[in-house]
């Protein structure tokens, strides 16, 4: 290796995720994370090492590069791995031009996200919510084990990690009230999720099978689906989430390729009853990715409030994409499809404050002596995730955001 990569780095040579960065001297452009550095793909391409149209590296989003297809993007990653191991490589001989310290870079939203869909695919999360708000003995709705339930969200309000999020205003029905009031949400929540990025479109009127799904999935990111629970409770019947969700969602800046995650494939939960034929799949489609969420009150140390794992998902990505397109819906390069809240079976693995504090009945102690049932102004919520198998470590970095007070000048 031409670089010394710490053993606990999220960005090992086995990973090499793609993102968009800029510095004072370099405009926003594609890069690849390696250890504490970023490989400037535009600067590297200027050395004439690639045999495709490298004008894609002039773009401030990854869409054009991803659209070249895995027959191009996968070899780029493989070549980078080879060059990082070779002290005589073009990368090794031009480190000052091509390698940028991450601490000197600003990260940007890596994609133009044309469309965004959020699923509801953790059986533990769906069961917990059903117990709180419906009949505990019949927590899951009748359709839940038959289809990957989802809704179309708002792509324009997805922001990159580090972007502050303002507490939303909206209609809320106070307890025992007969009419709603307009106010700032007092039940602001995070949702621990992951999202996958589509890298190959399908034509309108055609569908993608579970066998073909991975050809259409470029990679994955961490995703925080911010939720205003009090607004959501009032509005979600009959058409589901709207203003409680569309004010902001936060994503991590690095897109980890599906190929980098191959070593971490695992079997998913047994699906009972049996799914319809178009949702049947073969092979290991779940991934063992460890996930954590922390909350840092303003001026205080963070506290880890959740430890979960992506392998808990009842519905996998191949099934989600197959269901999304079975009616002929067309996806585009750069679309984002989120998993839904990722909760496990134990209380410390629940992926939202709604569950962790059980709808406000079990406050969580913070390092500064305060407690939390939901997220307060000034709190910084951070999520991280990584996979480890032997010496192979692949991480996603972090997605974090500070909550700002509501804009109440209405």
Sketch the domain layout of the chain as residue ranges: 18-108, 116-404
Least confident piece of the model among 1-10, 277-286, 296-305, 373-382: 1-10
pLDDT score, position 341:
98
Q: What is the pTM of this model?
A: 0.97
Strands (E), 173-314: 181-184, 188-189, 192-198, 217-224, 227-228, 249-251, 256-257, 265-266, 286-287, 290-296, 303-309
Question: Do the two domains 18-108 and 116-404 of this chain adopt the same fold?
Answer: no
Q: Does 86 have pLDDT greater than 70?
A: yes
Q: Which residues are bridge partners to 181 per DSSP?
A: 172
Average pLDDT over residues 263-292: 98
Contact, 249 vs 339, CB < 8 A? Answer: no
Q: What's the Cα-to-Cα distance from 6 to each of 78, 256, 263, rounded to whole Å?
A: 21, 19, 20
In eight-state DSSP terms, residue 366 is -
Percentage of residues of the chain with pLDDT beyond 90 = 96
Q: Does 136 have pLDDT greater than 90?
A: no
Distance CA 148, CA 227 (A): 20
116-404: CATH topology is Fumarylacetoacetate hydrolase; domain 2 (3.90.850)
Annotated binding-site positions for Mg(2+)? 225, 245, 249
Annotated binding-site positions for Ca(2+)? 118, 191, 193, 225
pLDDT score, position 410:
63
Q: Categorize the per-residue pLDDT at 231 as very low, low, confident or very high, splitting at 50, 70 and 90.
A: very high
Whole-number average pLDDT of the chain: 97
pLDDT in tens, 87-100: 999 999 999 999 99
pLDDT in tens, 16-51: 999 999 999 999 999 999 999 999 999 999 999 999
Q: Does 408 have pLDDT greater than 80?
A: no
18-108: CATH topology is SH3 type barrels. (2.30.30)
Neighbour-count burial for 282-307, b at 16+ CB within 10 Å, e otherwise = eeebbbbbbbbbbbbbeebebbebbb
pLDDT in tens, 205-222: 999 999 999 999 999 999
108 catalytic? Reply is: no
Residues in Cβ contact with 272 at an 8 Å cutoff, skipping those fewer than 6 apart: 145
Least confident piece of the model among 185-189, 224-228, 234-238, 395-399: 234-238
pLDDT score, position 358:
97
For the CA atoms of 22, 157, 59, 162, what is the dihedral angle to 10 degrees?
A: 20
Considering 125, 216, 323, 324, which one is annotated as catalytic? 125
Q: In angstroms, how far is CA 313 from the centroid of its own chain?
A: 14
Percentage of residues of the chain with pLDDT beyond 70 = 100
Annotated binding-site positions for substrate? 120, 134, 232, 236, 341
């Amino acid at each position: 290796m031409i670089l010394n990569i710490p053993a606990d780095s999220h960005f090992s040579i086995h990973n090499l995720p793609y993102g968009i960065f800029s510095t004072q001297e370099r405009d926003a452009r594609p890069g690849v994370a390696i250890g504490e550095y970023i490989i400037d793909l535009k600067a590297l391409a200027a050395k004439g090492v690639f045999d495709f149209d490298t004008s894609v590296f002039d773009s401030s989003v990854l869409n054009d590069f991803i659209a070249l297809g895995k027959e191009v993007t996968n070899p780029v990653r493989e070549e980078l791995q080879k060059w990082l191991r070779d002290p005589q490589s073009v990368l090794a001989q031009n480190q000052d031009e091509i390698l940028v310290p991450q601490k000197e870079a600003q990260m940007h939203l890596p994609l133009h996200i044309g469309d965004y869909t959020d699923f509801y695919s953790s059986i533990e999360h769906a069961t917990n919510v059903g117990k709180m708000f419906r009949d505990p003995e019949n927590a899951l709705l009748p359709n839940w084990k038959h289809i990957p339930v989802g809704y179309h969200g708002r792509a324009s309000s997805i922001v990159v990690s580090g972007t502050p999020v303002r507490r939303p205003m909206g209609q809320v029905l106070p307890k025992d009230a007969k009419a709603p009031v307009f106010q700032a949400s007092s039940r602001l929540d995070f949702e621990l999720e992951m999202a996958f990025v589509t890298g190959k479109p399908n034509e309108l009127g055609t569908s993608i099978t579970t066998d073909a799904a991975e050809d259409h999935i470029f990679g994955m990111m961490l995703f925080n689906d911010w939720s205003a629970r009090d607004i959501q409770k009032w509005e979600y019947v009959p058409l589901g989430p709207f203003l409680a969700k569309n004010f902001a969602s936060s994503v991590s800046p690095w897109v980890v390729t599906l190929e980098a995650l191959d070593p971490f494939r695992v079997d998913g939960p047994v699906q009972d009853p049996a799914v319809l034929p178009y949702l049947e799949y073969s092979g290991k489609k779940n991934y063992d990715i460890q996930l954590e969420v922390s909350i840092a009150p303003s001026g205080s140390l963070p506290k880890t409030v959740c430890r979960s794992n992506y392998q808990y998902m009842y519905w996998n990505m191949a099934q989600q994409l197959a269901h999304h397109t079975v009616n002929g819906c067309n996806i585009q390069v750069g679309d984002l499809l989120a998993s839904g809240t990722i909760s496990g079976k134990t209380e410390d693995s629940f992926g939202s404050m709604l569950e962790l504090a059980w709808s406000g009945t079990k406050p969580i102690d913070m390092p500064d002596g305060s407690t939390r049932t939901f997220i307060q102004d000034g709190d910084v919520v951070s999520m991280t995730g990584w996979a480890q198998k032997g010496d192979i470590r692949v991480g996603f970095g972090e997605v974090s955001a500070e909550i700002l007070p509501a804009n109440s000048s209405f």
